[in-house]
Amino acid sequence: MTISAFEKQLMGYGLTTAEIHYHMPDHPGLLQLYVWQDYDLAPKFPTLKGFLDFWSRELDGVLHSVRVAHNKLIGPREWRAVNGVFTLQ
């Protein structure tokens, strides 16, 4: 059974973006950039860790660095009072 993105957000997942720099297999002196994005749980990031484990195990490009950004999309928002009511006819 697959879980939809909305259901994941209700369970506390947030959108995680990882900027992954890795050494090119044919030219180890050059770095390549790969951007990965999925819903994950901060601060342990089990989905991202699983992807990076797969990368290290199955792919030839050696990881150089990973930079992570995370944002919970569903949460309390700012509340503002309305000072008037406008009627359109």
Q: How many domains does the chain have?
A: 1
Domain extent for 49: 5-71
Q: What sign does the dihedral 28-34-40-44 (CA atoms) show? A: positive
Q: What are the pLDDT digits (tens) for 4-21?
A: 988 998 888 999 999 999
Token code pair at residue 44: 């342990």
Asked if 65 contacts 25 with a C-beta cutoff of 8 angstroms, the reply is no
| 67 occurs within a structural domain | yes
| 25 occurs within a structural domain | yes
**pLDDT at residue number 74:** 74
**pLDDT at residue number 51:** 98
Q: What are the pLDDT digits (tens) for 34-82?
A: 999 999 999 999 999 999 999 999 999 999 999 999 998 776 666 666 6
| 56 occurs within a structural domain | yes
| 66 occurs within a structural domain | yes
What number is the average pLDDT over the span 18-38? 96
| 15 occurs within a structural domain | yes
| 87 occurs within a structural domain | no
**pLDDT at residue number 23:** 97
Asked if 79 contacts 26 with a C-beta cutoff of 8 angstroms, the reply is no
Those residues whose C-beta lies under 8 Å from the C-beta of residue 55, and which sit 6 or more positions away, are 20, 22, 61, 63
> Tell me, what DSSP letter sits at residue 87?
-
| 33 occurs within a structural domain | yes
| 54 occurs within a structural domain | yes
- pTM (two decimals): 0.78
